[in-house]
Chain A
Amino acid sequence: MSDDPIRLQNAQRDIRDAYFDHDSGLYTLNCVPGAGKSEVTDHISAEDILRRYVAGDPTPEQRVAAISFNRSEAENIIPDICARLREIVEHDLVPAASQVSDSEVEYLIQRINQAPFVGTIDSILRDVLSEIASDIGFEEMPVVGNTARQKHLHKACYRAVQEDPDLAQRVERLEDAYPTGEYDDDVSEMLETAVTYCRDRRISTERFRSNLEQTVEDVYAEGRPRSFNDVVAAVEHCVGEDIDESPYADIGDDDRNRICDADSRLHDDWRARIDDFCTVLEEYRITYRQTIRDRGVVSHTDVAYLVDAYFDDRLGNDDDTHRARIRQRYQTRIQSLIIDEAQDVSSIQHAALSHLVTSSARVFGAGDLLQSVYLWRHAEPTLFETATDDGEYLGIDWDIHEHRTAKTTYRCVPDVASAINEISEAALTDPARGNLGELDVRYPGLEADRDSTDESNVHIAAFDPIASDPDSYTWVKPVEGRGEATTLATLLSKGLADGSFTDENDDPLGITVLFRWSSKMDVYEEAFEEMGLSVRNASENLFECSVVDVVLDVCEWLVAPADPERTRELVIESNLGLEPLTDNFETHHWDIDAVLDDCDLTGAHQHVLGGLSELRDRRDSFLSRPAGTYAEDIIETLALRADSYGCFDVDPAQRVANLDALVETLEEWEADGHFTPRELTELVEPFRVSPYMGPNQPSTADTSHDVEFRTVHDAKGDQDDVVAIANPGFDLWKHGPQAQRFLTQGIIAGLAPPTNTDTPSDVALPPFVNGLYDPEDTRDRDVGLRWATGHWCDDIAESADSTSLVGPERLRRVAANERAEAWRLLYVALTRARDYLVVPLPRSLPDESRPRDRWLDTIREGLNFTGSQTGSYTVDTDTVPFDVGVNDVALQATWADTATTCDDDVAVNPPRHTDLDPWVPRFINPSTMYPLTDDPDGQVLNHLLGNALHTEANDVPDDIPLQFDRLGPDDVGSCLHEVLTTLVEREVPEPTLRSLGDEVRRVFDDVVDDHAPRIDDAERDGLFTFFGEEVLNDFLASDLWNRIQRAERVTVERPIDGLVTVDDVEIEIHGTSDFVVELPSGEQYVADLKITLTDQTLETRRRYELQVTAYSYLFEQQDSSENPVSRTVETFGVERDTIESSWPSEIVERRLATLVRQ
Chain B
Amino acid sequence: MTAEDRLSLSQPLDAPDVPIVEIEARTRRAEARSVMATVASLRDHGVPTRDIAVVVRDLDNYEEPLYRASVHYGLTPVFWVQLRVTQTRPFALIESVCDVLASNNPPREILCRPLEHRWAPPSATSSEWPIDPKTVQVSMQALPDESRTLSEWHDEFEGNPEIDERFVTYAEWLGDCPEPAPEAVTNVLTDVVETYEELGLPVTKENDSPSLIETERDARATVRVKTLVQQLRHKYADRLDEGTLDRSWSSVAELSQLIATQRPGRRDHSNARAVDILEANDIWLLNVPYVLAVGLIDGEWPQQTESVVPPELQEAILRGDGSVGTLAPRTAWTTGRDRDQFDDTLRAAGNGLIVTRHTESTSGEERRPSPLLEHLDTDLVPPDERRQLMSEDRELPDSVRAMLNREVINSE
Q: Which of A8-16, A315-323, A468-476, A939-947 contacts B (4 or more CB under 8 A)?
A: A939-947
Contact between B74 and A916 (Cβ–Cβ < 8 Å)?
yes
Contact between A944 and B220 (Cβ–Cβ < 8 Å)?
yes
Residue from A79, A661, A943 within 8 A of B270 (CB atoms): A943
Residues of A within 8 A of B371 (CB): 109-110, 113
Please give the distance in Å from B392's CB to the nearest CB on chain A: 5
Interface string of A607-640 (1 = CB under 8 A from B): 0000000001111110111101100100010000
Does B248 count as interface, using CB distance less than 8 angstroms? no
Contact between A918 and B362 (Cβ–Cβ < 8 Å)?
no
Residue from A76, A695, A909, A1067 within 8 A of B392 (CB atoms): A909
Residues of B within 8 A of A661 (CB): 27, 362
Contact between B273 and A620 (Cβ–Cβ < 8 Å)?
no
Interface string of B268-290 (1 = CB under 8 A from A): 11111110000000000000000
Residues of B within 8 A of A620 (CB): 89, 92, 113, 116-118, 133
Residues of B within 8 A of A905 (CB): 37, 72-73, 390-392, 394
Max chain A CB contacts within 10 Å: which of B12, B137, B141, B334?
Answer: B137
Give the interface size class of chain B.
35 or more
Contact between B134 and A922 (Cβ–Cβ < 8 Å)?
no
Please measure, in the bound complex, the distance between the C-alpha atom of A875 and the C-alpha atom of B6, giving whole angstroms. 63
Contact between B334 and A616 (Cβ–Cβ < 8 Å)?
no
Given contacts A79-B368, A702-B383, A916-B209, contact A922 B272 (CB under 8 A): yes
Contact between A702 and B26 (Cβ–Cβ < 8 Å)?
yes
Given contacts A624-B89, A905-B37, A945-B219, contact A699 B364 (CB under 8 A): yes
Residues of A within 8 A of B50 (CB): 1066
Does B87 count as interface, using CB distance less than 8 angstroms? yes
Residues of B within 8 A of A1156 (CB): 272
Given contacts A562-B134, A945-B197, contact A106 B11 (CB under 8 A): yes
Contact between A107 and B362 (Cβ–Cβ < 8 Å)?
no
Contact between A921 and B272 (Cβ–Cβ < 8 Å)?
yes
Contact between A72 and B365 (Cβ–Cβ < 8 Å)?
yes
Describe B's contact surface by its main secondary structure: helix
- Scan residues 905-957 of chain A and give those whose CB is less than 8 A from a CB of chain B: 905-906, 908-909, 911-923, 940-941, 943-946
Does B216 count as interface, using CB distance less than 8 angstroms? yes
Residue from B12, B75, B202 within 8 A of A106 (CB atoms): B12
Q: Which of B176-184, B232-240, B308-316, B404-412 contacts A (4 or more CB under 8 A)?
A: B308-316
Contact between A940 and B365 (Cβ–Cβ < 8 Å)?
no
Does A291 count as interface, using CB distance less than 8 angstroms? no
Residues of B within 8 A of A944 (CB): 212, 215-216, 219-220, 270
Residue from B74, B87, B335 within 8 A of A110 (CB atoms): B335
Contact between A109 and B10 (Cβ–Cβ < 8 Å)?
yes
- Scan residues 514-569 of chain A and give those whose CB is less than 8 A from a CB of chain B: 538, 560-563
Does A759 count as interface, using CB distance less than 8 angstroms? no
Given contacts A617-B134, A695-B363, A905-B394, contact A923 B268 (CB under 8 A): yes
Does A698 count as interface, using CB distance less than 8 angstroms? yes
Does A696 count as interface, using CB distance less than 8 angstroms? yes
Does A455 count as interface, using CB distance less than 8 angstroms? no
Contact between B141 and A563 (Cβ–Cβ < 8 Å)?
yes
Residues of A within 8 A of B394 (CB): 905
Given contacts A660-B27, A902-B392, contact A624 B91 (CB under 8 A): yes
Please give the distance in Å from B76's CB to the nearest CB on chain A: 5
Contact between A698 and B29 (Cβ–Cβ < 8 Å)?
no
Given contacts A59-B312, A619-B133, A921-B272, contact A906 B72 (CB under 8 A): yes
Please measure, in the bound complex, the distance between the C-alpha atom of A537 and the C-alpha atom of B197, giving whole angstroms. 52
Contact between A1066 and B48 (Cβ–Cβ < 8 Å)?
yes
Contact between A912 and B116 (Cβ–Cβ < 8 Å)?
no
Please give the distance in Å from A335's CB to the nearest CB on chain B: 13
Contact between A624 and B88 (Cβ–Cβ < 8 Å)?
yes
Does A114 count as interface, using CB distance less than 8 angstroms? yes
Does B243 count as interface, using CB distance less than 8 angstroms? no
Q: Report B's interface with A, CB cutoff 8 A.
A: 6-12, 26-30, 33, 37, 46, 48-50, 64, 68, 71-76, 86-89, 91-92, 95, 113, 116-118, 132-134, 137-138, 140-141, 197, 201-202, 205, 207, 209-213, 215-216, 219-220, 222-223, 266, 268-274, 298, 304, 311-312, 315-316, 319, 334-335, 360, 362-366, 368, 371, 383-384, 387-388, 390-394
Q: Report A's interface with B, CB cutoff 8 A.
A: 58-59, 62, 71-72, 75-76, 79, 103-104, 106-107, 109-110, 113-114, 116, 538, 560-563, 593, 616-621, 623-626, 628-629, 632, 636, 657, 660-661, 663-665, 667-668, 674, 695-696, 698-699, 702-704, 900, 902-906, 908-909, 911-923, 940-941, 943-946, 1061, 1064-1067, 1156
List 20 interface pairs A-B (beta carbons < 8 Å), by A numbering. A58-B315, A103-B11, A104-B7, A113-B304, A593-B134, A616-B133, A617-B132, A628-B64, A632-B68, A657-B26, A664-B28, A664-B362, A703-B383, A902-B387, A902-B393, A905-B390, A916-B210, A917-B76, A919-B215, A1067-B272
